[in-house]
Amino acid sequence: MRVANPGRVRLRSSSVRGVNHWRRMGIAITLLVGVLTFGTLGYLVLGLSLIDALYQTVTTVATVGFREVVPFDTAQRVFTMVLIVIGVGAVLYALGSLIETLIEGRLLETIGRMRMERTIGTLHDHVIVCGWGRVGRAIAAEVAAAGTSIVVVDEDPERLADCPHPTVHGDCTEDETLERAGIARAASLVAAVDVDAANSFITLSARAIRPDIFIVARARSVDSEGKLLRAGADRVVNPQNIGGARMAAFVLRPHVAEFLDVVMHERNLEFRLEEIPITDGSPLAGQTLREAHLRDQTGALVLAVRDARGSFLSNPDPDVRIEPGQILIAIGTEDELRALVLAAR
């Protein structure tokens, strides 16, 4: 399920307004320093010493009402009146900018967080990606391209600043953080931080909250793969091993590897691979592949059947019986695969 995030642009524009407030604060401070410098130099020209000129300028701009450090002549009085008008305006502008920056900055942050929470609250069957590093970004790009909503969780707010998806700032290993990410309604979770121990804790926490959620965990070392499976991960992926295997495949069977790469990841290609689960109520359950006439009715070609135990039967015989709990692996156009999905429901 893909849910647009209409508040994203507004959140970014709010951030821009927040930056503008801090810029105004900088202008106000610069103006105030300029007024103090102007007043000090003016009193120096009018005959006061440096400390007296600075003291007189500060007391005048601050309007505290102290008497003059020396009896003023006409020129000094006229300059003081001008300095009062300019200085009071600068002080009021600076105080107003400071109050506005502090109050509205906090307000914008609170509003942005509330909008993000509301957006996450509307998501169902989304994917939670724990860790917004290089691996997490690559995962999110593929999942988003397939039209599935994503919630990204990371404890580094700077890394989340440029994330185009709904985000949760917090420790992925904590139950409260995962609950804020909508784990109760999520379809799957990816533990993709760069520490195997953290991915184990994330997996344990997610499995305790949602025993039925599908969990994919990242492993940096071979020793961690078994531990992550025992912690409750449904699949464990070692990016180094996967990358090495793909490189070897390009060396040994470059055309086959490229074809599979294109079918799995190229969105402009006509043909795609898809998996179709067979449920207890599926009209296909109990029929053989020959009796179901899937090729004739949908145009999609069943390449393999995976049984409930996880074993694959490739290039299945037409007399293979379709049973509940099986997964059909098929290839076809988007329309053909959609027809096959409808036929299996």
* Digit-coded pLDDT (tens) for 209-251: 999 999 999 998 888 999 999 999 999 999 888 888 888 988 9
Q: What is the pLDDT of residues 276-322, one digit of tens each?
A: 999 988 999 999 988 888 888 888 899 999 998 888 898 899 899 99
Distance of CA 181 to the CA centre of its chain: 11
- Give whole-number Cα distances, 214 to 17, 103, 164, 217, in Å: 40, 43, 23, 10
The two tokens of residue 59 are 């007391």
Chain Cα centroid distance, residue 58: 49
The pLDDT, as a whole number, for residue 103 is 67
Sign of the C-alpha dihedral computed for residues 243, 199, 220 and 214 taken in this order = negative
3-state secondary structure of 324: coil
The structural domains of the chain, ordered by start, are 7-121 (1.10.287.70), 127-237 (3.40.50.720), 270-344 (3.30.70.1450)
d(CA 69, CA 43): 11
pLDDT of 15 reads: 44
Nearest-angstrom CA–CA distance, 223 and 203? 16
The predicted pLDDT at position 137 comes to 93
Residues 6+ away with beta carbon under 8 Å from 122: 3
Q: Is the pLDDT of residue 1 over 80?
A: no
The DSSP result for 215-251, as a single string, is: EEEE-SSHHHHHHHHHHT-SEEE-HHHHHHHHHHHHH
Q: In the chain, pLDDT over 70 holds for what percent of residues?
A: 88
CA torsion 109→113→115→121, rounded to 10°? 180
Structure token digits, residue 83 = 């300095």
- Tell me the helix, strand and coil percentages in the chain, rounded to 5: 55, 15, 30
Alpha carbon distance 231, 217 (integer Å): 10
Query: What is the per-residue pLDDT across 31-54, written as a single tens digit (0 to 9) for each?
Result: 888 888 988 998 898 889 899 888
- Is residue 162 very low, low, confident or very high in pLDDT (cuts 50, 70, 90)? confident
Going by their DSSP bridges, the two strands 271-277 and 327-333 should be labelled as antiparallel
Q: Are 302 and 328 in contact (CB under 8 A)?
A: yes
pLDDT band at 192 (very low <50, low <70, confident <90, very high): very high
* Residue 249: per-residue pLDDT: 86
